Amino acid sequence: MQLHNKNIEKAILSSIVYRPEVMDDLVYDLPSGEYFYDSNHRKIYQTMLQLHQNSEPIDEEFIEKYLQADTKFNQNSIVELMAVSPLVDTVAYIRELKELKFRRDVVSLSTKMFKIAKDEDKNKDIIENKIQQDLFEMISSEQSKGFLTAKEAISKTLNYIEVLKERGNKLLTGVDTGFYELNLKTAGFNKGDLIIIAARPAMGKTTIALNMVLKSIENSDGVVFFSLEMPAEQLMLRLLSAKTGIPLQNLRVGNIDDSQWEQVSDAMHEFENKTLLIDDNTNATIGSIRTRARRLKMQFPDIKLIVIDYLQLIQSASNKDRHLEVSEISRGLKTLAREIETPIIALSQLNRELEKRVNKRPMISDLRESGSIEQDADLILFVHREDVYQQIENQKRQREAKEKGIALTTEDSTMANVVPAELIIGKQRNGPIGIVELSFIKDITKFTDNINNQVAYQDNIQQTEAHIEGLDTSSMNMI
């Protein structure tokens, strides 16, 4: 297979000299001289780009003037391209030029991989991360696009509205969160978003993330779960409990009857046929997470959500202050989310200081080792349950009464199986903040919507559908 074509290169360069206005498009289609294999052609095109930037004439005289000091440049190259007839349409030739460069890049990357593999000073993780990063960057660069004109942007926007109109759920533009009111406020988790779910221990941050994972699986969206705290078996038990409604403790000890076993078998069969990938490596670093995420995204295009439990457990290769390390990790996750165009949910711990307050609802300032977490996150959610603090307080009062020899009888509402919970939107880059009211079912470790949220959600869907139906979409295709 030929990896370069000098005749095509000459034809394109000749067309620029005879019709300099084509540079307006080539600036975006061919942003550098690297697309040209011949070193002289590369220098000529780079000079053309510079002349275009300086608003100077792109002709034989100015090109020679700019390159006359370059002793390695062959001046005959300009004479040769002037003898070539210009192209009427450069589109097909540009496409061919870009494909040839891509093939050369593949060969170059293969050579680089070979050299890295022979380097005894680099371990497997470093080698794998470097190869994945270079490969992903090469593919992504070929898919990048230039600016959109207003006309193109309007056309894409109207097409987007048409797509929404055809969807069953008009309120979601991203991944379904699994909760009605949260969908209302966020429109789902969107591509490239970094979502932080933070809470104090025992509040249920892992549980609510698994509830979101379950919803994605039910919608046939692929999910990757990096579990740095809990083994894969425990995660699956929680998913099975939430899916089947069988108490988690019963699943843990195998205390299930025949009908429940059938439910478990059906749920496991459903999971087996979906893209659910769990990595429970406790020594994960931001580099290894990036490498695996890129690789899995290329291998499983249906992946729509990545979850990391939890952010502070990600190891860093640097010896910086922990606050700076966490800042680098959060920035790395945000960059990764944009790079692979997939929302990433990262769970996070909160500081103990909030427990000293009368009002224990979390705030942004309660994020542990926050660094740039607030800046990098597109959406920050706090899980809050008053029953956890009430139970702690009741136990403290019982203990103090017992020490004093006093019989204390209290009405403990925290013993209920279903208790109120809140999902607090502390930050949302593209939407409102506020509180989403939920319920928490303890025995199956599952968060659910309140019935009034569901009714409001359905009403909103109907109103949105009625509004979109009233739009005159017949004019959309005219743009």
Which residue reads 């076993």 in tokens? 261
pLDDT at 471: 44
Which residue reads 């740039």 in tokens? 372
pLDDT at 170: 56
* 284, two tokens: 């994960």
Per-residue 3-state assignment (H helix, E strand, C coil) for the chain:
CCCCCHHHHHHHHHHHHHCHHHHHHHHHHCCCHHHCCCHHHHHHHHHHHHHHHCCCCCCHHHHHHHHCCCCCCCCHHHHHHHCCCCCCCCHHHHHHHHHHHHHHHHHHHHHHHHHHHHCCCCCHHHHHHHHHHHHHHHHHHHHCCCCCCHHHHHHHHHHHHHHHHHCCCCCCCCECCCCHHHHHHHCCECCCCEEEEEECCCCCHHHHHHHHHHHHHHCCCEEEEEECCCCHHHHHHHHHHHHHCCCHHHHHHCCCCHHHHHHHHHHHHHHHCCCEEEECCCCCEHHHHHHHHHHHHHHCCCEEEEEEECHHHCECCCCCCHHHHHHHHHHHHHHHHHHCCCCEEEEEEECHHHHHCCCCCCCHHHECCCCCHHHHCCEEEEEECHHHHHHHHHHHHHHHHHHCCCCCCCCCHHHCCEEEEEEEEEEECCCCCEEEEEEEECCCCEEEECHHHHHHHHHHHHHHHHHHHCCCHHHHHHC
Sheet holding 303-309, edge to edge: 276-279, 222-227, 303-309, 344-349, 194-199, 379-384, 418-428, 434-441, 446-449
Number of residues that make up the chain: 479
CA 462 – CA 158 distance, rounded (Å): 21
* 421, two tokens: 């919970």
CA 232 – CA 217 distance, rounded (Å): 16
CA 440 – CA 257 distance, rounded (Å): 25
**Using CB atoms within 10 A of its CB, is residue 469 exposed (0-12), middle (13-18) or buried (19+)?**
exposed
* 449, two tokens: 């919507």
Could you list the pLDDT tens digit for every one of the 479 residues in the chain? 678 888 888 888 888 888 887 777 677 678 788 888 888 898 998 888 888 877 788 888 888 888 888 888 888 888 887 878 777 777 788 888 888 888 888 888 888 778 777 776 667 667 766 776 676 666 655 544 445 566 666 766 666 566 556 655 556 788 999 898 899 899 899 989 999 999 888 888 999 999 999 999 999 999 999 998 888 888 889 999 989 988 888 888 888 888 989 988 999 888 888 899 998 887 787 877 887 888 888 889 899 999 998 888 887 656 667 777 788 888 889 988 988 889 999 999 888 888 788 888 888 888 866 667 888 899 999 999 888 888 877 877 777 777 777 766 655 555 678 888 999 999 998 888 999 999 998 888 889 987 555 555 455 545 544 544 554 443 333 33
pLDDT at 120: 67
User: 376, 333 in Cβ contact below 8 A?
Assistant: yes
pLDDT at 406: 76
CA 365 – CA 86 distance, rounded (Å): 63
pLDDT at 408: 64
Model pTM score: 0.62
Question: What domains appear along the chain, each with residue ranges and CATH number?
Answer: 6-143 (1.10.860.10), 174-455 (3.40.50.300)
Please state the separation of Cα 376 from the chain's center in Å: 12
Q: Which of 186, 274, 172, 173 minimizes the C-alpha distance to 225?
A: 274
**Partners of 196 in beta bridges:** 346, 380
Which amino acid belongs to residue 146? Answer: G
**Radius of gyration of the chain, Cα coordinates, nearest whole angstrom:** 29
CA 260 – CA 249 distance, rounded (Å): 13
Question: Cis omega (within 30 of 0) on the bond before 180?
Answer: no
Contacts of 425 (CB under 8 A, 6+ apart): 182, 185, 186, 379, 380, 381, 431, 432, 433, 434, 435, 436
pLDDT at 475: 37
